[in-house]
Structure 1
Amino acid sequence: MFTGNNTSIIKADPRTKLLILVISMIIPLKCVTVFPSLVFAALLCVMLFLEGEKYLSVICFCISIIIMCLYAGAVKGGFGSVLNMICMSVMVLIRFFCPITMALLLFTKTTDMSHLISSFQKMHLPMVFVIPFVVLIRFIPTIFDEWDGIKKAMLFRGIEFKLKSFITKPAQIIEYTMVPLLFCSVELMDELASSAMARGLDSNRKRSSYVEARLRVTDYAIILIFAGFLAYMFFIYQQ
């Protein structure tokens, strides 16, 4: 998460990816038919491919096709029965979150933290927002690593983290998982906050950076394509 990719064909600015994420939240509200949804999914997959996530882009596009086929089948089935209604409701939710998930993957998988902080500075965002955001982004993958360590320690004590263990040994599960996880979380937040302070993120002075965040010709082209698609959707569905 937020490590970047060295095999990318193009390197879009984080602000461009943030705009794509916002557009991905709006498109499912306006686009309710299969073909435009697939076109937008293809655009996101092309972005993933160009940013170096070739394998992930193919997987996302295949999943999008499957989801849209199932969605079309659910719509064709209508509301004839309770089962059809449930299936259609589930597919509508999946179709809604599919482009948002792909845009989020594009943002997190292909953006490194240095470029992100530099972009935040270009946007003149206050440090009261930047510091908690950076700490949060660093916190999530670290806490997952700690959680893996806790589960391995539980196995040494003969306790597996399963539903059966919650039922048969609830006190031990809470003692050996929740308590260490809470203590780890508190310590991690303190360490990450101290690290952010040590890097001078709380300073009011303008910070220098090894990387320069700026919008290039490719960024403007990408913004034009995605904004144009959004405008087209608004125009079509207002007719």
Structure 2
Amino acid sequence: MNKALRLDPRTKFILLLGVNLLFLVSHSLLVEIILVSFSLGVILIDRKYKSALKYLIIFLVLLYIDRGLSVYLSGFYFTIINFIAYALRRFLPCLIVGKWILETTEVSDFVATMWKLKLPTSVIIPLSVVFRYFPTIKEEWNSIRSAMKIRGFRLSFEHVMVPLLFSAVMVSEELSAAALCRGLDNPGKHSSLIEIKMHGIDYLILGIFLIIVCLTCTLKGVGVIS
């Protein structure tokens, strides 16, 4: 993660929550374009140029399938394809922001933020375990696939999922034990070497998003968008 452009984790989760809420409030294509543009702008600020280009191409392809091909094609199978393309396009801003948060937020930052928000221990421990869980499972998935290829086994569902399920159980137990060993269940006051503080870039991004929210509400109120 680029430390020069380090964003407060609270900013990231406010954006994720806000994008999801706007996604539920409006079904307008204009709002979709605004949200996708804003999401791409956020990851561009974090200098993820390749990811931004990839998401832009995906959005344009999905938009063309929904709005362009529907003029020339019809039928049951195209209806299914069109529905899938529409659903993926609608969820794309949420996926962009969510994946960006997972890639740029360290677990230590996440835990320090939860302590800063004074959340109860019963919430902090499960969330910290879950936050570490998915990257670990991804590593296990890659290790299992590599082991199967080395041994000459054909990659099939049961050859991958069965060891992955056993590994998932072990990983969850190990992560829970590691969280307790680090003293997360200690009822006393916790300290952290990580400073959780809002900076100018955080206020700028939140301000832009607030303008988008106000614009969406205004357009929806006057009936310009649905």
Partner of residue 70 from structure 1, selected from 65, 73, 97? 65
- Deviation track 1:139-182 (CA, whole Å, cap 9, x = no partner) reads 222223223333343345542123xxx6xxxxxx4xx6555434
Other structure's SS at 2:68 match: helix
TM-score, structure 2 length as denominator? 0.84
Q: What CA distance in whole angstroms lies between the structure 2 residues aligned with 1:153 and 1:237?
A: 54
Matches of residues 1-239 of structure 1 in structure 2 within 5 Å? 5-6=1-2, 9-73=4-68, 77=71, 82=76, 85-155=79-149, 157-162=151-156, 173=158, 177-239=160-222
Aligned residues: 222
Q: Structure 1 residues 79 and 125, CA, compared in 2 at 3 Å: closer, same or farther?
A: farther
Shift in Å at residue 59 of structure 1?
1.8
Between 114-123 and 51-60, report the one with greater CA deviation.
51-60
Other structure's SS at 2:85 match: helix
Given residue 140 of structure 1, which amino acid in structure 2 is its aligned partner?
F
TM-score, structure 1 length as denominator? 0.80
Q: Is the 8 A contact 2:110 2:128 kept in 1?
A: no
- Deviation track 1:49-108 (CA, whole Å, cap 9, x = no partner) reads 11232221222223223333333326x649975456434422321221111101102211
Percent identity between the aligned chains?
A: 26
Q: Please, which runs of 5 or more residues in structure 1 have no aligned partner?
A: 167-172
Q: Is the 8 A contact 1:30 1:234 kept in 2?
A: no
Q: What CA distance in whole angstroms lies between the structure 2 residues aligned with 1:134 and 1:180?
A: 24
Q: Is the 8 A contact 2:7 2:201 kept in 1?
A: yes
